[in-house]
Structures are given as C-alpha cells and as structure tokens.
Amino acid sequence: MQLSFLKCHGSGNDFPLIDARALALSDAEWAGTARALADRAGPVGGDGLLLLTAGDGECAFGMRMFNADGSEAETCLNGLRCVARAGFEALGVDRATVRLKTSRAEVARDAELAPGVVTVRTVVGPNSVAAGDVGLKIGAAQVIEAAVPGLPSARAFTAVAMPNPHLVTFVDHVDEAELVALGSWCEAGPALIPARANVSFVEVRGPADLFVRTFERGVGLTDSCGSAMAASVLAAGLTCRVPFDTQVRVFNKGGMVRGQAHADRVVTISGNASFLYDARVEVDVAAARAVVPVIQARRDDEAAAWSAALAALV
C-alpha cells in the first residue's frame, strides 16, 4: 500500500503524519502501519503515527495517535499540535475543536515561540485526579504528593489523567536508570495499573521553570511527551510548587513549551508544530514493514528555525 505522509515534530517528539480523512483502513491496519513507520530501526522512524481524520457536526477535524507498538493513545499533545496545524492548513482556519479518541480539544495558532517557529496552543483535558481515571487499582480516591501503594518506588507521586494516565514525581536530579526501571515495570501492565501509565521525573529549575523526563507508555524513554509536560504543570500547581495561573516554561531534551495551569485544573500548552518533509512510502501493513520513502519536498527553513530556537535555549 502506498501512503503519503508528512514528517513533523512537536518539541522534538517526531512523527509521520497521514491525512486519513479519505482513507478507510481498519484499526488493525493502522496499528500495522504505525509499527512499520514509527519503528526506529526502520526507514522512517518516530514516536508514533499521527492521523488527521474527518470532522463531524461538533469538531472541524479529528486526530488519532498510534504508539510505535501499535497501541492507540487517548491523546498526544505534541502530536496534537502538528495535527492541528495540518487541519488548519487543510481547512483554512486558525482555531478549531478537535475530536480525540475519548474527548475533544480546543486548538489555536499562537504567538511564535521563536522566529519562524509555527506555534499552536492547546487546551488540555478533560483532566482528572481520580485514581480510577488514572487507572490505579487502589483504595485511595486520589494520589497527590503521596506514595502509591504497591508501586516499586518510595517516591511521592501525583497521579493525573490528561485524559491519558500519568504518574509525576518531583526530584532533585533525574536518574534515568531509575526512571526506566519504574517505567518498564508500569509498561508490563501490572495489577496495580493494568492499562499502564506514563511516568515522569520532574526537576524544578526556577520559580516557573520545569525540566521533564518521561518514560512514555507504548514508547519508552522519550525526549519529549506533551501530555507529560501538561501533567507536570498541573502537578506543580496541585503540590504548590508553582502558583496556579503562572506561565511556566517546560523544558525537555527535545526543546521547550509554554504552559499554564489553573485552579479548576484547566491546562494550556503552547509549543511548536514543525513540518520537516513530505514523502510517499510503500507499506506492507500485514508484515508491519516499510520501504525507504521517496521524499517529495523538504522544509529546511522550519528545521533551521527550530535549530536556532534550541541554540538560544542552551
């Protein structure tokens, strides 16, 4: 099967993005396509597969996101910004309501993070701090700055659903080996959290600066996870580390976004939606394999603008 795609990234979280509004593949076929195109050892690679899907009476367009292992996520904020931009350009609009797997999102163009960096603002949610919504099988109604019974870590966590599940803990220094060990334990789908969870270690680096490192469900250790950054902003507010209604800079290995959490748990995130190249590729969906893509157009100006923005952050 031949497919056209756009390679894009949000805060270093990179994806092949397919305009699927006129395509009729089954969930199993999309899962196979995701395994083929997002395979880091394959010819494209990515943190997952993004789909721009058709709108309905309430939403201008929709988004689906398949992880690199073929599982489908409830949301992906870094990917949402890229899909939002694709939808804006397809429909000639600057803001929209987007249908997600289990919810909706409000998206709009925003002031540039840096010169030449296309920036999109997303309102994150619906959010929840109910343990059941996070998928935790525990007696407590919620977990905010507390140990999680049964979790192989004595650290204090804050559990939030964005709506995908997140366990956030604040640390003096990120220990990646510890993060990977705990993330891998959650990735196995234990009885404590059978649907798995994203795990983030967060450093507070200033009055309104956070650094986030995440083991992402279905992906592993990633340079960036948009919903984890949003979860970390909310957790910082819930634990009084950063006052609500304060604009926060959230750094990760992929770059930086602007975030803000409010007392009603509404979170907004603004970050880049950078397009890198347009291509076509032959995919064997059943075997989850792809050949080397044919690149049709490169967007070197956007890549250069993002590189300059990263250099300015160092």
Main-chain dihedrals φ then ψ at residue 4, nearest 5 degrees: -95, 140
Angle between helices 77-91 and 226-238 (to 10 degrees): 120
What end-to-end distance do the CA atoms of the chain give, in Å? 43
Helical spans, DSSP H, in the chain: 27-37, 77-91, 131-134, 176-187, 226-238, 300-313
- Of the candidates 59, 76, 82, 186, the residue annotated as catalytic is 76
> Is there a catalytic annotation at residue 186?
no
Main-chain dihedrals φ then ψ at residue 182, nearest 5 degrees: -70, -40
Q: Which of 89, 95, 90 is nearest to 109 (CA)?
A: 95
Residues in the chain, overall count = 314
> Is there a catalytic annotation at residue 59?
no
CB atoms near residue 2 (< 10 Å):
9
- Of the candidates 8, 59, 186, 225, the residue annotated as catalytic is 225
d(CA 228, CA 167): 9
Which residues share a beta bridge with 168? 158, 200
d(CA 93, CA 105): 15
List active site positions.
76, 225
